Amino acid sequence: MTNMSEEKEQLKKKEEWLREELRHTRMMWLNLLKWGVTVLAALESSLYFVRRDVTEHLIAAGALPIGGLMPWPRWFLGTLFLAFIAYVFALLTVYIGKKHTGYREQLVSMKPSYSEIKEIPVGTKLKNAPYYLFYAFPVIDQLLYLTFSISKSFKIPW
């Protein structure tokens, strides 16, 4: 009888630990998404001011006509920086996602479960959405340049 209660207690502890780890990895993942978007948005805002100052300097130096657009190679440097930061956040998201998946698989494979809660397998349709979220910033940055260069009538606010 003691052996059976010890096994149940160990099962209970294992399930509690796994659920706790799942909770923590989920919170880390959500915080990473939150801070990744915040950092990328702040960088995009900073790039606006840097690009404005560089464009004004090039106009003052006579390298660009008045109302001219910053040359694409210089704009692309900022986009590359955004893409690198997005890549770092995407890698961290993959790492935390793998940890979470490992804990989740352990919890689902527990037979019998102490709590007897049936774990429902999670779908994978949206598993790449966070990567698209991070990489959307460099893509939008390039689309902005494309829009500015195609539409000469569109006034850039600098």
Q: List the chain pLDDT tens, one digit each, 158 residues.
A: 567 788 778 888 888 888 898 899 989 999 999 999 999 999 999 999 999 999 999 999 999 888 888 899 999 999 999 999 999 999 999 899 888 888 888 887 777 666 666 666 666 677 778 778 899 999 999 999 998 888 765 666 65
Distances (CA, A) of 111 to 18, 21, 25, 42, 122: 14, 19, 23, 47, 18
Question: Which pLDDT score, from 0 to 100, does residue 155 have?
Answer: 64
| Residue 110 CB contacts under 8 Å (≥ 6 apart), including other chains | 11, 14, 15, 18
Q: Which of 84, 53, 87 is nearest to 70 (CA)?
A: 53
Q: Residue 118 gets which letter from DSSP? A: P
Q: Distance between CA 85 and CA 18 in Å, rounded?
A: 31
Distances (CA, A) of 137 to 32, 39, 44, 56, 134: 16, 11, 8, 24, 6
Question: Which pLDDT score, from 0 to 100, does residue 139 have?
Answer: 96
Q: Are 18 and 79 in contact (CB under 8 A)?
A: no
Question: Which pLDDT score, from 0 to 100, does residue 24 have?
Answer: 92
Q: Distance between CA 20 and CA 52 in Å, rounded?
A: 48
